[in-house]
Amino acid sequence: FRGDPSSALLEVLDPEQNNTFNDHYLEVDLDLSEVMFVATSNTLNIPGPLLDRMEVIRIPGYTEEEKLNIAERYLVPKQLKANGLKPEELKIADSAIRDIVRYYTRESGVRNLEREIAKICRKVVKEIALAGPRPAKKKVSAINVTSKNLEKYQGVRRFDYGRAEEQNEIGLVTGLAWTEVGGDLLQIEVSLVPGKGGMTLTGQLGDVMKESASAALSVVRSRAESLGIDTDFLQKQDVHLHVPDGATPKDGPSAGIAMATALVSTLTKNPVRANVAMTGEITLRGRVSAIGGLKEKLLAAIRGGITTVIIPEENRKDLADIPANVTQGMKIVPVRWIDEVLDLALERPLTPAASGSGEKLPVREGGKSPAQEGVKH
């Protein structure tokens, strides 16, 4: 390719220059000062100066229910017509469409969903053609595609989605992650091994996530006495923190409170509730800071069977942008401090080892803590 698209766009999108934009190929001047440009992208990985000249409008991906409705109203009728099928010849059940979304596509839109529906239609056309001609007066019997026979038309499942653990376990916490194709559940495991006080991090974690793990460990060490943990717990043992699905790179600070909870659970032998998921950055003082991608994370929690989600108090305002039907039946609890997280997530209340310097910061001056004001949607 000749030329530099980035430089050309930089000139076109700059209101100080685009009134005299010159097309070097046509060798003519174009006045673009009254033109509104709309650019679309799946990611923001574009040059900084170019991004600075744009107003970024984030459009969230479709929810599972939205994809289901789009498929029923538009995609299925469109593909039936495109493949020469009549509505009475093929019926695709809601359960089948939902399984296609979960197990055969991984996207924020519906492009691949339409491809998979088209694939089913083509196989049904072949099935009808191989069955031979039907008598003219014979009633057409519809081919029903359900979740039970979906693999016949789609093949083996390509993807899986995160699901809540069935039992409460020690040192295993369910976190919430944002991805470019939506949200997902993130399992965080902690175990203790003989050693000299080191910390091992595995699971292809990025620099920010490693720093978050270090901060979580420091919070636990500074509050050891108030949490009922031996202050010398690192003298003769190492901490190993692992985030499964090691082939997938992971980064970001939002797993901080999940890491701290997993550490406390392991050190106190106190199981973590399997139906609780959490997201939030942690500071050295034990404060829970805001995160991004809340809608996608809540959708992942609902899909995975989570009933209680712990979020930062600073993200309470973001709940107004999330439709009520998305979080129906789920308890969402905004918190400010790690102490509230531990009270909600652990099976048993924590008992201080002894009176000492272990610091437990106040949640709020007077009144109930945010944890006691659980928001239900």
Note the pLDDT tens digit of each residue in 78-116: 999 999 999 989 999 999 999 999 999 988 889 999 999
Assigned fold of 64-154: Helicase, Ruva Protein; domain 3 (1.10.8)
Which range is least confidently modeled, 129-138, 202-211, 263-272? 129-138
Torsional sign, CA 142, 148, 153, 159: positive
Residue 137 has pLDDT above 70, yes or no: no
Report the alpha-carbon distance of residue 266 to residue 286 in Å, rounded: 18
115: how many CB neighbours lie within 10 A of its CB? 14
Report the alpha-carbon distance of residue 145 to residue 328 in Å, rounded: 29
Residue 163 has pLDDT above 90, yes or no: no
CA 103 to chain centre: 16
- Residues shown for the chain: 377
Report the alpha-carbon distance of residue 215 to residue 221 in Å, rounded: 10
349 within 8 A of 343, measured Cβ to Cβ: yes
pLDDT digit string (tens) for 258-286? 999 999 999 999 999 999 999 999 999 99
CATH of domain 172-376: 3.30.230.10
What is the percent of the chain where pLDDT is above 90? 53
Under the banding of pLDDT at 50, 70 and 90, the label for residue 138 is low
pLDDT digit string (tens) for 32-61? 778 888 988 877 888 888 888 889 998 888
Domain extents in the chain: 5-52, 64-154, 172-376
SS3 100: helix
Under the banding of pLDDT at 50, 70 and 90, the label for residue 344 is very high
- 7-16, 139-148, 187-196: which is most confident: 187-196
**What are the percentages of helix, strand and coil residues in the chain, rounded to 5?**
35, 20, 45
Report the alpha-carbon distance of residue 201 to residue 132 in Å, rounded: 61
Report the alpha-carbon distance of residue 29 to residue 151 in Å, rounded: 58
Which alpha helices (DSSP H) does the chain contain, by range?
A: 5-13, 48-52, 64-70, 76-82, 94-103, 111-130, 150-154, 207-222, 256-268, 294-303, 338-345
The mean pLDDT of 63-67, rounded to a whole number, is 88
Packing angle of the helix pair 94-103, 111-130 (nearest 10 deg): 120
Under the banding of pLDDT at 50, 70 and 90, the label for residue 136 is low
In this prediction, residue 142 carries a pLDDT of 84
pLDDT digit string (tens) for 17-26? 767 777 777 7
Under the banding of pLDDT at 50, 70 and 90, the label for residue 3 is low
SS3 320: helix
Report the alpha-carbon distance of residue 92 to residue 98 in Å, rounded: 10
Residue 295 has pLDDT above 70, yes or no: yes
In this prediction, residue 192 carries a pLDDT of 93
Under the banding of pLDDT at 50, 70 and 90, the label for residue 323 is confident
Across 14-34, b (16+ Cβ under 10 Å) vs e yields eeeebeebeeeeeeeeeebee
pLDDT digit string (tens) for 215-250? 999 999 999 999 999 888 888 899 999 999 888 889
Report the alpha-carbon distance of residue 144 to residue 133 in Å, rounded: 20
Torsional sign, CA 209, 211, 216, 221: positive
192 within 8 A of 249, measured Cβ to Cβ: no
In this prediction, residue 65 carries a pLDDT of 87
Residue 355 has pLDDT above 60, yes or no: no
User: What single-letter amino acid sits at 319?
Assistant: L
157: how many CB neighbours lie within 10 A of its CB? 12
Token pair 């992650």: residue? 177
Instruction: Give the residue numbers annotated as catalytic, written as ranges.
Output: 254, 297
In this prediction, residue 245 carries a pLDDT of 85
262 within 8 A of 172, measured Cβ to Cβ: yes
Could you tell me the end-to-end alpha-carbon distance of the chain, in angstroms, rounded to an integer?
53
Under the banding of pLDDT at 50, 70 and 90, the label for residue 139 is low
Task: Give the up-direction half-sphere exposure of residue 58: CA atoms within 13 A in the CB hemisphere.
Answer: 9
Report the alpha-carbon distance of residue 184 to residue 35 in Å, rounded: 40
